[in-house]
Amino acid sequence: MSALDVALVLGLVFWPRRNSVLGMLGGVVLFSGLGLLGIVLISIIFRTNPGQCAVEGIAYHGSLFLLVVGGVLFYRRLRFPSLLSALLGLFVFGIGFNMLVWEPYNLVAERYSFETSKLTKPLRIVFVSDIQTDRIGEYERRTLRMIQEQNPDLILFGGDYLQYYEGTPGVADLSERFLGLFAEAELSAPLGVFAIPGNNDPSDSEGFSKLFAGTTVEPIFFSEIIENLGVDLGRDPIDISFLHLFDAIDGVGERGLTETGNFQIMIGHYPNFAIKDYMHSERAPDLMLAGHTHGGQIYVPGFGPLRINYTGRNAITPASMYRGMFAFGNGSRLLVTRGTGMECGWAPRVRFLCKPEISVIDVLPK
């Protein structure tokens, strides 16, 4: 990147030589475009993340380049354009620093609440999805500490725990450290701690179970229903339906929860199941939980969340429902969490106006 910076500066200094604002802008666009292309090509050659390299190139090298442009314009006695370029460089650096360094790790406990006539005592649920990490550090430990600090009655994990797919070099060591993280945290809640898989997790039940083996987390791989949870503790009974990955994508149809009169929760990695099967159904669960979207990771004011690697049959969920709690006309609710981690593959690991969250849901007696 430093070699590209030198090329960009030399190109700016020597072309064009006339005091033409339009010509200077053309030079900036041409050389910065070539520089960005070079960054992406080099990142592909060295098998790193091209999206991440491109964003970091724009944020750090691009901002420095704009400041140099401002200096060159000032030298050519183009005072107003030079000021504009310098201010733009500072703006690009500020936005980039926020997206890459500050906001992705500014974890918040986002609070939601609603009332129901099916409970006589308050129920606090902590829902966490898309930890999606490729290293275990203080941020991940702080995430688990924050979960326990909420004094939850029930802890639910919605899938996508590691950045790597099964079989990727380094995933075995990462899985071992991830297991150690949960063993050290010893998460606990009166009604239990449960986890379902996401699309980045091992594709078999045994491999998924190994992620939490020997910890306080109960992994559930296939679609499963637990009824009357809490009765043994003298609490209001609740039913929880845990969806397999493909049921969460394609829907559960008639295989959903039966009417028991209990407060009912359904959890799936994708929000598709709620929108496809239960948005207008009279048999909808009281609360549905999903992740996968990361809230879009980048929220553009006036436009909304961007679509980050969320296409194909996943795209049933509109961008307007990528994050937050939504109340349906049948009385049910869907919560789509922003998650605590970020996208992998070619996508840049950034967040903008979309802080990572653990979701704290207080269900209150009506």
Enumerate helices (H) and strands (E) in the chain, giving the number of each.
Answer: 10, 14
Residue 23 has pLDDT above 70, yes or no: no
- DSSP secondary structure string for all residues of 306-361: ---S--GGGGGS-GGGSSEEEE-TTS-EEEE---SS---TTS----BS---EEEEE
pTM equals 0.89
CA 123 distance to own-chain centroid: 25
Per-residue pLDDT band for 309 (boundaries 50, 70, 90) equals very low
The identity of residue 241, as a single letter, is S
Residue corresponding to tokens 């991830």: 178
* Average pLDDT of the residues in 249-273: 88
Secondary structure letter of residue 248 according to DSSP: H
Residue 297 has pLDDT above 60, yes or no: yes
State how far the Cα of 338 lies from the Cα of 129, in Å rounded to an integer. 8
Residue 166 has pLDDT above 60, yes or no: no
Token pair, residue 122, equals: 């308050």
Torsion of CA 48, 269, 145, 120, to 10 degrees: 170
Token pair, residue 45, equals: 């050659």
Q: Could you report the per-residue pLDDT of 191-210, keeping only the tens digit for each?
A: 999 999 999 898 899 999 99
Per-position b or e across 118-156, b if 16+ CB within 10 A of its CB: bbeeebbbbbbbbbbbeebeebbeebbebbeebebbbbb
Q: Which of 120-129, 143-152, 156-165, 305-314 has the lowest mean pLDDT?
A: 305-314
Token pair, residue 2, equals: 């430093």
| Contact criterion met (CB below 8 Å) for 265 and 289 | yes
Per-residue pLDDT band for 305 (boundaries 50, 70, 90) equals confident
Residue 261 has pLDDT above 50, yes or no: yes
* pLDDT given for residue 46 in this prediction: 81
* Per-domain boundaries in the chain: 2-103, 107-365
* pLDDT given for residue 247 in this prediction: 92
DSSP element (H, E) containing 327: strand 324-327
* CB-based contacts of 278, cutoff 8 Å, min separation 6: 256, 266, 284, 285, 288, 328, 330, 332, 334
Assign 336 to helix, strand or coil: strand
* Average pLDDT of the residues in 138-159: 97
Q: Could you report the per-residue pLDDT of 54-76, keeping only the tens digit for each?
A: 888 889 888 888 888 788 778 87
* pLDDT given for residue 253 in this prediction: 74
Residue 13 has pLDDT above 70, yes or no: no
> Who wins on pLDDT, 270 or 282?
270
State how far the Cα of 117 lies from the Cα of 262, in Å rounded to an integer. 10
Per DSSP, what are the bridge partners of residue 41? none
DSSP element (H, E) containing 191: none
Torsion of CA 269, 273, 274, 278, to 10 degrees: -150
Residue 268 has pLDDT above 60, yes or no: yes
| Contact criterion met (CB below 8 Å) for 247 and 256 | no
* Average pLDDT of the residues in 342-356: 88
The identity of residue 181, as a single letter, is L
CA dihedral over 295, 296, 299, 305, signed as positive or negative? negative
* Average pLDDT of the residues in 127-141: 94
Q: Which of 270, 266, 324 is nearest to 295 (CA)?
A: 324
Q: Please state, as a whole number, how many other Cβ atoms lie within 10 Å of the Cβ of residue 6.
A: 9
Assign 358 to helix, strand or coil: strand
Domain 107-365 grouped into CATH 3.30.565: no
Q: Please state, as a whole number, how many other Cβ atoms lie within 10 Å of the Cβ of residue 251.
A: 20
Q: Which of 32-36, 103-107, 235-239, 327-331 has the lowest mean pLDDT?
A: 32-36
Per-position b or e across 208-237, b if 16+ CB within 10 A of its CB: bbbbbeebebebbbebebbeebbeeeebbb
Q: Please state, as a whole number, how many other Cβ atoms lie within 10 Å of the Cβ of residue 160.
A: 25
